Structure 1
C-alpha cells in the first residue's frame, strides 16, 4: 500500500540555521532517501520551495480565486514529501520515525486511496 509521508517544519527555524547545520540536515535527508531506495519502498520524494512561493487556488460559487502564498497561516509549513509503498501502516510509521523531518518538525503519514477503489 502506498503512503505519503508529508514533512512539516517551521521555515523560520530553517532560515536561522548556519550553513553547517543546513549541510547536516541535507546530508541526513540524502541518507534517508538512499535507505528508502535500498529498501525498494521509495516511489517519489522532493523538497518543496518555501511557502511564500506558493499559489493557492480556490473555487467558490463558480468563481476562481488565485492567492499568492499559502492558504493557512501556521507555524509549520509543508516542506517536502516521500511517497512510499510498504505493506502496512506500521511499516509506514516506522519509516516516518526514521525521517530526519521528524527531528526538525513533524511528519503526517497518510494512506493513498488507490484509484481502483473510488
Structure 2
C-alpha cells in the first residue's frame, strides 16, 4: 500500500520522462533519481516508481523548479509551476471534527469547542 491509490497517482518516471522531457529513457530517469535531485513533498525519492498524487509538490533541486500536481477537469493530472515559498506549504491536511448522530440517516458535523 503506497501513499496514493494506484488509479489516483502518477509514477515519477512518467512525470520526469514524458511530461518534463528531462530524460529519454527510464534508465536516465533512474540516474537522475539516484543522484538525489528529485524531492516529493520535501523528501528525497530515489524510487522511479514512487507514486505522486493530488496536491503533491515535486521539486527538482538541480534546476530549482517546483511543481504541484492538480486535477484538470476532475480526471486528468496537470502540473502547476509554483514558487519556492509555496513549495514549502503542504496542502491537503484534515482537521478532526466530531459528528453527532441525530437520526438513523443524519449526521451533524460540529466544531470541537461545541462538544457536549
Q: State the structure with bigger RCO (CA 8 A, min sep 6), 1 or 2.
A: 1
Q: Given the two structures, how large is their TM-score scaled by the length of structure 2?
A: 0.25
Q: TM-score, with normalisation over the residues of structure 1? A: 0.25
Structure showing greater Rg: 2
